[in-house]
Structure formats: structure tokens, C-alpha cells
Amino acid sequence: MGWLHRHRGLVPYLLLAPGLAWLALFFVVPTYYLANTSLQTGSLDAGYAFTWAWDNYADAISTYHEQFVRSLQYAGIATVAAFLVSYPLAYFIAFRGGRWKGVLLLLIIAPFFVTYLIRTLAWQTILSDSGFVVNALQTVGLLGDGDRLLATSTAVIAGITYNFLPFMALPLYVSLEQIDGRLIEAAEDLYASKVKAFLRVTLPLSLPGVFAGTLLTFIPAAGDFINAELLGTPRQSMIGNVIQSKFLVLTDYGQAAALSFTLMAAILVLIAIYTKVLGTERMGV
């Protein structure tokens, strides 16, 4: 006891030590091993050796640039779709929710209470060829008789949008909720139209939420492979599908690690550009 008292400055570090050590050992150190592995060559039978194999990157990118571009595309479209769906919804809860805000927010995160794979399989059922969505679209002529929804890019993007929507809606809600309603009233008192008040007051004030929401949606979406696997075909396969099969099925560890590292780097670069363009340092969460 006396020792702790004399070394009070050490207390925070003692509290931090176990948790940070765990993160250092199993989050930071693994990144080094991923980098190391990405420069290894070899096979499961012959063993793997570190050979500065930069070819892993060149080969991986030249072979799989299509899946890379597709991942970023799908993630981008899904992020925009999630934004368009959630903004009005978050607005509704923040300004019209009243005392039911808590319950309505619960409805937004309700999908998370169903295991990820199971809710994606539910979309498989909903979009299946004999399902009611396809039937309805065929009846009104939006879909031809032989056309399907399952196993298309649309299905994969729709699945991604649904699965990561709460990541978009929650930060949007938080930033909208914090807006002082009097600011919007003031704008309207000063003869701004409803639309103008929204564009000049509400929307700019909610930008931190937009920023956090798009990042929290885009990042997991770009690395996802479950939607492409369950709702698409190999023609919709994303970079996550390639990484997964190379690591776990083909044991081509060098290229798999190179692809993971490239994905990480691509995402970091995009975030950096995005942060610069949006010009905000606030993360909102």
C-alpha cells in the first residue's frame, strides 16, 4: 500500500498495462507478421521462407485488381445507399421521436440481434427466385420472366447496405440529435425556406455524423465477403473472398497477406483523401 502511495504516477500505467499489452501483442504485433508474411514464398509442403518477395504484391494486384475495384465500388455504392436510407430515418427519430426515441433507436439496431450470417441468409430467402419480391417485380414488369435478383451485383450491394446500415444511422442520429432546434427556427424566422434552412443549417451541422457514418460503413463493407458469398456468384466476388480462400483454402499465404495489406493501405489512402476533402477533424464518435 505504501509503495503505491509513493509511486502514484505509476497507477495509471498499471491500470493500462494488461489491456494495452493484449492489444499490442494481438493487434499491433500481428500487423508486423502480416507484413512479413506478405514477403514470404513457399508452400504448405515445402514450408515458407522470407525472401523479400515483392512479386507477391505485383502478382496479387495484376491478378486481382478486378476484385479490388469491385470491392471499393460495391462498398462505395452501399455507403451512399445506406446514407440515403438512414438520413431521413435518423432525422425522423431525432426531431419527431419524442419520448419513443429510445425504442425507435432499438429498432435500428435490431438487425444486429440476429446473427450476421443468419440475417444474410434471410435475404437469400427474400430475394430467391420463387420469393415474393421477385414475383412482385415480375408481375409489375420491372423484372423479366427469367430474370433473377439473387446472384446479381444488386443483391450483393443490397445485402451490404442492409448489414452495415446501423453503422450509418447511429452516428447520423447522434449528430442530428445534438442540433439546437432554435437554430433551424431562427433560419426560418429569417425567411429561409424549409429546404434552404435544411441545406444551410441542419445538413452542415450534421456533417460530423455523416463523416463518422460513411467511414464506419465503408471500411467494413470494403473488406466484406459474406454478402458476395451468400448473395452473389464468383462473378461478384470481392477482395475479401480472394483473401479468405487464399488464406484458408489454398494456403497461398504470401499473396493472401499481400492482398490484405494492400486492402488496408487502399482504405487508409481513401480515408486520408476523404478527411482532407470534407475538411473536418471531428470523428463524431
- The footprint of another protein on residues 122-141 (CB under 8 A) is 122-126, 128, 130-131
Site string for another protein, 144-173 (x = CB under 8 A): ------------------x--x--------
Q: Taking contact as CB under 8 A, which single stretch among the options 1-9, 52-60, 62-70, 179-187 is the one that binds another protein?
A: 1-9
Q: How far apart are CA 91 and CA 133, in angstroms?
A: 28
Q: How far apart are CA 270 and CA 186, in angstroms?
A: 37
Look at the block and give the residue holding cell 483523401: 273
Q: How far apart are CA 140 and CA 153, in angstroms?
A: 21
Chain centre to alpha carbon of residue 71:
11
Question: Smallest distance from the beta carbon of 159 to another protein, in angstroms?
Answer: 10
Q: Are 92 and 171 in contact (CB under 8 A)?
A: no
Radius of gyration of the chain (CA): 24
Residue 56 has which C-alpha cell?
A: 507477391
Residue 205 has which C-alpha cell?
A: 451541422
Question: Smallest distance from the beta carbon of 37 to another protein, in angstroms?
Answer: 4
41 part of the interface to another protein, by CB under 8 A: no
Of 54-93, binders to another protein (CB under 8 A) are: 85-86, 88-89, 91-93
Question: Smallest distance from the beta carbon of 2 to another protein, in angstroms?
Answer: 11
Residue 20 has which C-alpha cell?
A: 494495452
Q: Are 229 and 248 in contact (CB under 8 A)?
A: no
Q: Taking contact as CB under 8 A, which single stretch among the options 115-123, 174-182, 202-210, 273-281 is the one that binds another protein?
A: 115-123
Q: Give 202 or 260: the residue with its C-beta nearer to another protein.
A: 260
Residue 260 makes CB contacts below 8 A (sequence gap 6+) with 34, 38, 243
Q: Give 77 or 87: the residue with its C-beta nearer to another protein.
A: 87
Instruction: Give buried/exposed letters for 238-261 (b at 16+ CB in 10 A, else e).
Output: bbbbbbbebbeeeebbbbbbbbbb
16 part of the interface to another protein, by CB under 8 A: yes
Residue 1 has which C-alpha cell?
A: 500500500
Of 174-203, binders to another protein (CB under 8 A) are: 194
Q: Give 77 or 169: the residue with its C-beta nearer to another protein.
A: 169
Of 201-260, binders to another protein (CB under 8 A) are: 215-216, 219-220, 222-226, 230, 240, 243-244, 247-248, 253, 256-257, 260
Question: Smallest distance from the beta carbon of 52 to another protein, in angstroms?
Answer: 16
Look at the block and give the residue holding cell 484458408: 248
- Coil, strand, or helix at residue 199? helix
Question: Smallest distance from the beta carbon of 71 to another protein, in angstroms?
Answer: 10
Question: Smallest distance from the beta carbon of 162 to another protein, in angstroms?
Answer: 7
